[in-house]
Amino acid sequence: MTQPTGHTSLAQVRARWRRFLLNRRAIAKLAACPPSELRRMAHDVGLDERDLHSPCCSHPGPAELMPQRLQQLGLDPAFVKHALPTTYRDLERVCAHCKSWRRCARDLSNDDVQAGMDGYCLNATTIDALIVDRPISRRA
């Protein structure tokens, strides 16, 4: 295994720091909400109230890896997020709880997106359904 360069290490530290700050801000915003508002928000997005307190993620899965996986499989993450917001949030939530994010990052960097789909990706079934339901573009 190769050692990361100084530039790569610095970029990783910066990315972790950004995630940490975003998580802290999200926690602070939730803490400021009254209980009735938390219940309403949880209901609106189809989550349990407890799940609202654990969307924070210490790894790049939901923000970077999951969209990259969709892209490598021929799906536009921005389109999925816009057209199917509930499904996209569910993909993010499941990805946030995944313990195989390092393996996922390694497979995606090696352009081996199928390794996760056949093995460890907890979103594989949902992503497969998105691929099957994808409209076929017509060529002139």
At residue 22, the 3 state secondary structure works out as helix
pLDDT digits (tens, 9 = 90+) for 87-128: 998 898 888 888 888 899 999 999 999 888 888 999 999 999
Residue 60 backbone dihedrals phi, psi, to 5 degrees: -80, 10
Q: Tokens 């996760």 belong to which residue?
A: 116
Angle at 78 between CA 88 and CA 134, to 5 degrees: 75
Return the percentage of the chain with pLDDT > 70, whole number: 78
CB 121 within 8 A of CB 104: yes
Helix (H) or strand (E) segment spanning residue 135: none
